[in-house]
Amino acid sequence: MPNPVRLGGNLVIGATSTMNFQGPFDLGGTTRAIIAGAGQRAHFEGPISNGGFIKEGGDQLNLSTTNSLTTRSSSTAVPLR
């Protein structure tokens, strides 16, 4: 998904394959939950800004660019990459 994304709430990854976010990702000025269950992966290539996130769920979340986050943590044993 190359378009800019601005969240108005939490993000639940429901895809059965990896979701790729290529454009800028705006968290809307607050801390959001990004939930990726088993077999549901997300890869962020564009910058993530304007807030922070807590990763929940059993699969991985990959960050491959410089981000200006206020909070970045994982609430499970699956690491952020």
Residue 45 forms part of a structural domain:
yes
Look at residue 71 in the predicted model and tell me its pLDDT.
52
The model scores a pTM over 0.75: no
Residue 13 forms part of a structural domain:
yes
Residue 72 forms part of a structural domain:
no
Residue 44 forms part of a structural domain:
yes
Return the number of other C-beta atoms located less than 10 Å from residue 29's C-beta.
13
Look at residue 77 in the predicted model and tell me its pLDDT.
47
Look at residue 68 in the predicted model and tell me its pLDDT.
66
Rounded to whole angstroms, the Cα distance separating 66 from 78 reads: 21
Domain range spanning residue 11? 5-67
- Number of folded domains that form the chain: 1
Nearest to 75 by CA among 43, 37, 40: 37
Residue 52 forms part of a structural domain:
yes
- Give, as one character, the DSSP assignment of residue 80: B
pLDDT range class, residue 78, cuts 50, 70, 90: very low
Return the number of other C-beta atoms located less than 10 Å from residue 63's C-beta.
19
Residue 47 forms part of a structural domain:
yes
CA distances from 41 to 9, 29, 35, 75, 80 (A): 19, 24, 9, 15, 11
pLDDT digits over 20-55, tens only?
A: 888 888 989 988 888 887 777 788 888 888 888 888
